[in-house]
């Protein structure tokens, strides 16, 4: 994703709207957590968000940051990307896009590919599951890690 310069401003508006509609106070913590997510596109873990927020709000607890992130996910203003092999990552961009994840260094980057947005959805009639959306995570090696592998092989 190329972050639109106004992206974080629009996310703050979104947060304000959600807080208003859910009757949640727009706390300093919520604001700082959303801001720290909206200005980065490296898909941080909850711990990484905590570190950033802690630098701004010294007394904030890890539990608070975790809880607020889960609330954001629940309200659909933040996307949580789970992986069975690594810690969950958070993304303020909730529009459909896909991800490339490096199995070497765990870096995660956005992938926008229109051909992936037009996949025919399966119709699992047997179990009654209704599919609403999907996102695809590809795993592999980033250029840096791929380079390391090649160097080792070359020696």
* Chain contacts with Zn ion (rule: CB under 5 A): 91, 102, 104-105, 110, 142, 145
Q: How far apart are CA 27 and CA 19, in angstroms?
A: 9
- Residue whose CB is less far from Zn ion, 104 or 124: 104
Q: Which value, in Å, is the radius of gyration of the alpha carbons in the chain?
A: 18
Report, in Å, the least distance between residue 154 CB and Zn ion: 18
- Supply the minimum distance, in Å, between the C-beta of residue 43 and Zn ion: 6
Between 30 and 101, name the residue whose CB sits nearer to Zn ion: 101
| Tokens coding 143 | 């250029």
Least separation in angstroms between residue 9's CB and Zn ion is 19
Tell me phi and psi for residue 38, to 5 degrees. -75, -20
Please say which residue, 16 or 110, places its beta carbon nearer to Zn ion: 110
What's the closest the beta carbon of residue 41 comes to Zn ion, in angstroms?
Answer: 7
CB-based contacts of 87, cutoff 8 Å, min separation 6: 45, 46, 47
């Amino acid at each position: 994703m190329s972050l639109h310069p106004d992206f974080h401003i629009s996310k703050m508006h979104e947060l304000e709207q959600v807080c208003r509609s859910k009757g949640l106070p727009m706390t300093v913590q919520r604001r700082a957590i959303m801001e720290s997510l909206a200005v980065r596109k490296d898909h941080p873990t909850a711990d990484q968000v905590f570190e950033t927020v802690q630098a701004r709000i010294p007394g904030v607890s890890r539990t608070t940051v975790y809880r607020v992130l889960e609330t954001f996910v629940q309200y659909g203003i933040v996307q949580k990307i789970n992986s069975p092999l690594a810690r969950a990552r958070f993304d303020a961009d909730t529009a459909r896009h896909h991800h490339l994840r490096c199995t070497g260094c765990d870096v995660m980057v956005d992938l926008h590919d229109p051909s992936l947005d037009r996949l025919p959805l399966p119709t699992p009639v047997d179990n009654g599951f209704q599919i609403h959306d999907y996102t695809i995570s590809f795993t592999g090696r980033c250029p840096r890690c791929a380079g390391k592998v090649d160097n080792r092989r070359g020696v």
